[in-house]
Structure 1
Amino acid sequence: MRSTLFRTVSVGALGALIMAGAAEAAEKLRVGMTVSSTGSFALASQSGARGIDIWVDDVNKRGGIEIGGKKVPVEIVKLDDRSDKQMVTRVYENLISDEKVDLVFAPFGSTLTAAAATVTERHGKYMMVWSAASNDLYRQGFKYMVSGTQMPVSAILRASTELAKDLGVKKVAIIHSDEPYPAGEAEGGRELVKEAGMELVLLEKFPKGQKDFSTILQKVRASGAEALFPAAYEGDQISILRQMKQLNIHFPFVFMEYASTPQFAAAVGKDGAYIFSHTNYHPAINWAVTAGLNRQQFADAYKAKFPNAEFAPDYQTVLAYGAGVLTEEIIKKAGSTDAAALKKASLDLSDKVTVLAGPYAIDETGKQLKMPFPVLQAQTDGRLETVWPKDVATVKPVFPIPAWNKR
């Protein structure tokens, strides 16, 4: 029996075809993906899925994607992966073999995407990545996997380490979850700290699923670090920040990439003040978009699509939306859904398209080369402000971060 949890069909402009009874599978473009209902990836995964929904609605309002001179509506099929890499392989097998999708979006994160890629490559299906950034993914020889919007993990901390250096930080500690994406971020951070001329006084991993961070935080404090970079997923970063306050552990500079999300702010409240983060979706960031909606159009579409949403769109939403737009451009360029043709079109369009998330460029492995993330800080009133690089900064950073009893 086929799983139907999260299964949705977006058919915006199918009207006439449905009324005529002619909307057969061959007259739709079926795109599969998974969404995490539970587990450590749930918040980010569901945020990204809303970006895909906005893209599908926009495509179908325009009649579909033009393939060979004919507009073809998009049908999105979502199944649940529960943040479980064993389930991911079964579910992507289901999407391809049972749901008969033409191509797929990757699940959230490097761990799940690596598992999905083993299935999509075996079946010769094209997979568009919107979140997975592990460098190792692009060293495994996957032929039909392309990162549309997510920069490589080795570059994730570039802007934040540049800022730390500019502020005069000398000693840095990096801790990370024992998972592919956080581990790759930490290794990239090691090199970036070295390039910046700072000293890495601690680099240490902690087990996936760890709840008590008191020991590792005490080690960071004992190291004399002035800056802490916890490379971990959102739930872990929330727990780390809460425990820092409970233990009265303070650092002049703390970077948590998920601190820019509405979910993070809702979870930690005022304790998130002055934490540095990053995003590609902020009023100060307005790329010259050549495909898809611009920032204001996207904001309007999100409000219309999700009028009662608990959270505003965040950078995961924008990454996924941008990946959808790029998928559309790639399909139009290829004129087909053949995986080899789509990969060739992906390379042909490299460095020629800018979407809401930023400029698109890939190498032969499908690894994203651009899509930069400016650094933000939640300042005194809780409002996120762009602080780096200087050409997009709206305010000066608050540094050092005030001690807990002075916030």
Structure 2
Amino acid sequence: MTSRRRILGTIPVLCAVLSGFASVPAMAQAAGPIRIGMTVSSAGAFALASQSGTRGVDIWVDEVNARGGIDVGGRKRKVELVKLDDRSDKQMVTRVYEKLIIDDKVDVLFGPFGSTLTGAAATVTERLGKFMVIWSAASDQIYQQGFKNIVSATQMPVSAVPSMSIELAAKLGFKKIAIPYSDEPFTAGMADASKKTAESHGMQVVMFDRYPKGQKDFSTALQKAKALGAEVFYPCSYESDLISMIGQMKQLNIYFPFTYIHYGSTPQFLEIGKDADYIYSQTLFHPDINWKVNAGYDREKFLAAYARLNPNASFAADFQTAQAYGAGVILEQMIAKAGSIDAAALKKAALELSGKLTVLPGEYAIDATGKQLKMVTPTMQVQPGKGLVAVWPPAVATNKPISPAPGWNERK
């Protein structure tokens, strides 16, 4: 049975790693475990990414409990993770986060995957006075609503996401860009940021078209982008849509000299094989990217833990797994520094730790709103015979970009 099927078959579940609890001193036992709630998407647009991230949280829980728990005011407290299903549904998220807080009485929460769901969850956690750690939501709008009890531990705001890749496209001499985007908060925000970034580099945005959630046929958009002379194809959407777009590009024999796919570095996307060649993407997690961590596992130990806990996983660890794991490590540091699980104390600790932690996916730093400032995302390219390699910025690049991409009929 695959790791993914295990998740789907056990949601909603109560997951706890409590081995050795009886050996903990009586005083620590009296304090009880720290209950941390989160939701996972068993189905829908966010399922693959959500489940990938959840495996990262599981690694952190295993690591913490193997050490006897988190030191909270001199007492070791283990972590008990409560997972419920949100089915990628915004309305369902609000009900489920209320249940986690009111019925399941969790102490702290991780956000769900993505800006759409996390924005909904934040309204609940704020109203009920609970602290929520965000690992995936990039929409700047979330941090503009005055929420006091949220922190993005490992996710840069969407306004910064396109900077590296569009800078590279401009450096390569491309002038015209097409930006189709899905009608979701994150993807719409990314599209707006991409348009502004492209224009700041002197590029002409020849297409800026929104499409409805659930659309499956992208042939019209692809043909329009090609007819308008786009050299850069920059769709802003989620994984399943992006995989469909590439398949339809090949069927229609449409290609662009520079194609950027935000989720093009994930194992799920790379399963399309040679059709992924020459595509640009981004990641925080790759052999070319090795931060000197001062909290949590380094890359080698993280991968060993992933293999141990997910021996039958359908997919390897990806940047979403690393982001969620890093968020757990940062939450542990917040709790230890605060000596408390009180929301205000945790936010204060989060600000005090800003600029002082480096975890698996990079450097942690936030502003007063809880928005992440430092988790940079280098631009990658899938190159034939080499796979995914870092090509920009020069500080981390291990290969030069292959540009322009050849047409479908010119590829071996």
Identify the TM-score tier after normalising by the shorter chain. Answer: over 0.9
Corresponding residue for 1:310? Answer: 314
- Separation of aligned partners in 1, 2:142 and 2:226: 33
Deviations 1:197-222 (A, max 9, x none): 22222111111111111111111111
Larger deviation: 53-62 or 379-388? 379-388
Corresponding residue for 1:16? Answer: 22
Where do residues 2-151 of structure 1 align in structure 2 (5 Å cutoff)? 5-16=11-22, 26-151=31-156
> Counterpart of 2:263 in 1: which secondary structure?
helix
Deviation at 1:18, TM superposition (A): 8.6
**Residue type matched to 2:134 in 1?**
V
Deviation at 1:377, TM superposition (A): 1.0
Is residue 225 of structure 1 aligned with residue 230 of structure 2?
yes
- Equivalent pair of 1:49/1:320 in contact (CA under 8 Å): yes
Aligned-residue CA RMSD in angstroms?
Answer: 1.7
TM-score by length of 2: 0.95
Deviation at 1:382, TM superposition (A): 5.9
Counterpart among 355, 366, 371 of residue 362 in structure 1: 366
- Separation of aligned partners in 2, 1:384 and 1:12: 38
> Counterpart of 1:329 in 2: which secondary structure?
helix
Q: Give 5+ residue unaligned stretches, structure 1.
A: none
Deviation at 1:342, TM superposition (A): 0.6
> Counterpart of 2:15 in 1: which secondary structure?
coil
- Separation of aligned partners in 2, 1:43 and 1:202: 29
- Equivalent pair of 2:183/2:212 in contact (CA under 8 Å): yes
Corresponding residue for 1:394? Answer: 398
> Counterpart of 2:164 in 1: which secondary structure?
helix
Deviation at 1:76, TM superposition (A): 0.5
TM-score by length of 1: 0.96
- Equivalent pair of 2:52/2:317 in contact (CA under 8 Å): yes
Corresponding residue for 1:170? Answer: 175
Q: Give 5+ residue unaligned stretches, structure 2.
A: 1-9
- Separation of aligned partners in 1, 2:396 and 2:403: 18
Deviation at 1:396, TM superposition (A): 1.1
**Residue type matched to 1:399 in 2?**
S
Deviations 1:224-244 (A, max 9, x none): 110011000101111111111
Percent identical residues? 60
Runs of 4+ in 1 over 6 A off after TM superposition: none
Is residue 216 of structure 1 aligned with residue 226 of structure 2?
no
> Counterpart of 2:345 in 1: which secondary structure?
helix
Corresponding residue for 2:329? Answer: 325
Counterpart among 291, 297, 315 of residue 293 in structure 1: 297
Deviations 1:243-288 (A, max 9, x none): 111111110000001110111112x222111111110111110111
- Equivalent pair of 2:24/2:68 in contact (CA under 8 Å): no
Deviation at 1:12, TM superposition (A): 4.7
Deviation at 1:8, TM superposition (A): 3.4
Corresponding residue for 2:163? Answer: 158
Is residue 378 of structure 1 aligned with residue 392 of structure 2?
no
Deviation at 1:381, TM superposition (A): 2.3
Corresponding residue for 2:7? Answer: none
**Residue type matched to 1:136 in 2?**
Q
Deviation at 1:156, TM superposition (A): 0.7
Is residue 335 of structure 1 aligned with residue 363 of structure 2?
no
Deviation at 1:394, TM superposition (A): 1.4
Deviations 1:153-202 (A, max 9, x none): 01111110111111111111111101100000011111111222222221
- The 1:382–1:271 alpha-carbon spacing in structure 2 relative to 1, beyond 3 Å, is farther
- Separation of aligned partners in 2, 1:30 and 1:303: 25
- Separation of aligned partners in 2, 1:23 and 1:237: 49
Corresponding residue for 1:279? Answer: 283
- The 1:19–1:352 alpha-carbon spacing in structure 2 relative to 1, beyond 3 Å, is closer
- Equivalent pair of 1:175/1:204 in contact (CA under 8 Å): yes
> Counterpart of 1:218 in 2: which secondary structure?
helix
Larger deviation: 158-167 or 4-13? 4-13
- The 1:236–1:363 alpha-carbon spacing in structure 2 relative to 1, beyond 3 Å, is same
- Separation of aligned partners in 2, 1:128 and 1:243: 37
- The 1:34–1:46 alpha-carbon spacing in structure 2 relative to 1, beyond 3 Å, is same
* Count of residues in correspondence between the two structures: 403
- Separation of aligned partners in 2, 1:285 and 1:311: 20
Deviation at 1:9, TM superposition (A): 2.2
Larger deviation: 35-44 or 372-381? 372-381
**Residue type matched to 2:365 in 1?**
A
- Equivalent pair of 1:261/1:315 in contact (CA under 8 Å): yes
- Separation of aligned partners in 2, 1:6 and 1:326: 25
**Residue type matched to 1:56 in 2?**
V
- Equivalent pair of 1:273/1:382 in contact (CA under 8 Å): no
- Separation of aligned partners in 1, 2:61 and 2:265: 26
